[in-house]
């Protein structure tokens, strides 16, 4: 199991369209993935779970991966976040 902290840079945070891109990317990996904000942890492959965290621009979240492709999963998700979800 590995984890990484990442800061959300895009203007709208992790809502609606960016969250959909995030979920699609997360679902492309076999590893179990979670998003943690403060004391809450949700399945990174669940749109409702991710949206329920209310992640906005400037927030730092923790991405957690556990599985055979955990490094690739975190690399892919961090790259998506760092590029602003293509916005």
What residues does 7 pair with on adjacent strands? 60
CA dist., res. 73 & res. 79, Å (int)? 10
The residues annotated as belonging to the active site are: 15
Task: Give kind and range of the element (H or E) at residue 23.
Answer: helix 16-27
Residue at token pair 């490094």: 71
Give 83's contacts (C-beta < 8 A, 6+ positions apart). Answer: none
């Amino acid at each position: 199991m590995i984890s990484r902290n990442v800061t959300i840079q895009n203007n709208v945070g992790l809502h609606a369209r960016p969250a959909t891109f995030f979920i699609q990317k997360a679902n492309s990996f076999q590893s179990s993935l979670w998003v943690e904000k403060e004391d809450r942890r949700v399945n990174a492959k669940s749109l409702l779970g991710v949206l329920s965290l209310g992640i906005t621009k400037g927030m730092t979240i923790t991405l957690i991966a556990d599985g055979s492709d955990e490094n690739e999963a975190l690399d892919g998700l961090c790259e998506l976040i760092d590029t602003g979800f293509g916005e």
